[in-house]
Structure 1
């Protein structure tokens, strides 16, 4: 497994899952990540004979945290996406995606997978050029936020996409990281930049402060 580290972010990432494309390339404050044809991470709640998987790059984190990045995806085919991921095990994980929906609209999408079944929740559209995504944890509760653009002071205004619990005890580690998907296409690429990680908890899981 290849170890990676974001520029200035103390979060060494290890690759797992099937190797689907070329190795990631470093960019200032982050990396460019590739995926191959049909790369996917979604477990059909109705059941399916196959089990889709995609190469992911994660690191274990214990306790409260905030993990965010600006994600710019080459959206070519339906469901192409750049993803921030929280990984517990093969049957339990969650993600927030910058994704191309079936209508050809770039959209925030969230998925929570429990006991081998994924749900799927569409959020709001976002403008071209990319979007900020964030995963946060406070105790047993996780929150997924997104922000369309930088604020005038260089910050962002976060909007809540989802808040939930997985049943994971507060003292248990979760792996967090990134991946790229192209379930129906020949593959794509995404740039993860402005990457930030802190162990400081959010003051309010819902308003993102």
Structure 2
């Protein structure tokens, strides 16, 4: 039998296809619709652990679920459930939601995400810290994760916002949905297609849930990245 020669360039392209598909098409297909957004992808069983009631979505995390790529490797855990909606990153976008986590154990949280693949993502969370205070936390992952603790929040829930004008991305929170506090600002250097999503986590606990209300995804950005509006 004569073996057919495959051009080197074609062979390299074929080898890259799975990685590209994974980066652009994560998780399993779902169809979960709210008035302001439709989620079409599910990571780590998020679709099976979601309940929708009107405009309210509740996502449950099983025990010991988290997304964090520890620089030391000791605490790495990439199992948190995440619901995702595809976004054209060539256009402006803004994702907003009121997030109310159920806090039972340290690091329980509800979060919003920008997701590209399992080693390239960002999250903004309302999380219980080591002193059992609830606060805003952001994590930016490029291969490994950083970890940034922000303001302590005494309310049960908080409004969150992620906005991009295609060049810049801002993370914000608000207690009244009127005055927004900037907690992270960075360059939008992500692919043309990305995913935005919601998540719950329980890294040390036996499971928890987070409720997301007034979730909205629009193709507009904030006008003032310092003020978030």
Q: What TM-score results when the alignment is normalised by the length of structure 2?
A: 0.81
Matches within 5 A, 1:76-87: 76-87=104-115
Q: Is structure 2 residue 38 aligned with structure 1 residue 11?
A: yes
In structure 1, which of residues 75, 82, 96 is the aligned counterpart of residue 103 of structure 2?
A: 75
CA distance in 2, matches of 1:164, 1:132: 20
Q: 1:59 to 1:80 in 2, by over 3 A?
A: same
Provide the aligned length of Structure 1 versus Structure 2. 199
Q: Is structure 2 residue 51 aligned with structure 1 residue 29?
A: no
Counterpart of 1:176? 196
SS at 1:38 equivalent: coil
List alignment gaps of at least 5 residues for structure 2. Answer: 1-28
Counterpart of 1:58? 84
Q: 1:99 offset after TM fit, Å?
A: 0.5
CA distance in 2, matches of 1:200, 1:81: 27
Give the greater-gyration-radius structure (CA). Answer: 2
Counterpart of 1:185? 205
Which structure has more relative contact order (CA 8 Å, sep 6+)? It is: 1
Q: 1:147 to 1:34 in 2, by over 3 A?
A: same
CA distance in 2, matches of 1:51, 1:132: 26
List alignment gaps of at least 5 residues for structure 1. Answer: 151-155
Conserved 8 A contact 1:73-1:130: yes
Q: Is structure 2 residue 119 aligned with structure 1 residue 91?
A: yes
Q: 1:30 offset after TM fit, Å?
A: 2.8
In structure 1, which of residues 108, 118, 127 is the aligned counterpart of residue 136 of structure 2?
A: 108
Q: Is structure 2 residue 223 aligned with structure 1 residue 197?
A: no
CA distance in 1, matches of 2:179, 2:55: 20
Q: What TM-score results when the alignment is normalised by the length of structure 1?
A: 0.89
Considering fraction of residues, name the structure with more helix.
2
In structure 1, which of residues 18, 25, 43 is the aligned counterpart of residue 69 of structure 2?
A: 43
